[in-house]
Amino acid sequence: MGKIALLFPGQGSQYVGMAKDLYENYNTAKELIDKANDLLGVDLKKIMFEGPEELLKQTEFTQPAIFLHSVVLYSLINKIKPDATAGHSLGEYSALVANGTLKFEDAIKLVRYRGQAMQKAGEENPGTMAAIVGLSIEDCQKVVEQAKDAGIVQCANFNSQIQTVISGSVVGVRKAMEIAKSSGAKIVKELPVSGAFHSPLMQSAKEILLEKLNQVEFSDAKIPVYANVTAKPVTDKNEIKELLYQQVTAPVLWVDTIINMIKDGFTDFYEIGPGKVLTGLVKKIEPAANCYNIDKAVDLVNFI
């Protein structure tokens, strides 16, 4: 038997109506979602269930919404015994609740602070992001190096061997997009985001988050989390906290994370939360991996 990993999605996986069926079918879900509303002092439930989409897409609401959906699902699952967790950017916070590092009450407040801080940083230091498909990781790194004369730009998310997201100033990213197109990229698409996430333009958000991280109690993890910043398993609470701080401006090493998990004996990957983005990426990175999605009430039937 291979090892089991739980994966938790990040920003971009949200949709209007998310977790509504869970709320209507499970008392545990109802309690957690109502508790989140009380803790945050905002009607997150209404935004998740009814939208409008433009409001749900605002970073300060998107991040706690996706986190909450994921953690609600995790709280309902009894029949999966994971050997490790991992999350894509924001999803790392869900992964840290699942492995016992953070309490739900602390984590959802941290996620809201993180979302607010990142949204504010995006307003103060405008930037953008773009997806590049069809170039290798090495070629994307060459592209951003060539574009740095124009402005701030770096690789932000290494999502698969041929899909990389870049981030930085508008002029820097758009210069890199031009170079990527001329270098043979199949798709080069600017993303509808509110800031240059995982780039130096998020430095102010990073410092705000550090203050909040230092106010929260972390525990050593019961099972490892494969961290975005290093793509390696970690259980030490102090190291985990430091990596969450670094994560705001550092690239998400998703390809290396999945490759390292495969090397460490993981064969089964369960994406817990809205959408199917991560299992799609896992299949691109390692086609032989067994991938499953748990998003809606109907998906839970075999796992409760």
Q: Catalytic residue numbers?
A: 89, 198
Question: What one-character DSSP code corresponds to residue 8?
Answer: E
**Do residues 198 and 156 lie in contact, with contact meaning Cβ atoms separated by under 8 Å?**
yes
Residue 156 has which token pair? 């932000």
Expressed in angstroms, the distance from the first to the final Cα of the chain is: 21
Decide: residue 178, CB within 10 A, 0-12 exposed, 13-18 middle, 19+ buried.
middle
- Helix, strand, or coil here: 84? strand
Query: Side by side, which strands form the sheet with 163-168?
Result: 153-160, 163-168, 128-133, 187-191
b/e 268-282 (16+ beta carbons within 10 angstroms → b): bbbbbbbbbbbbbbb
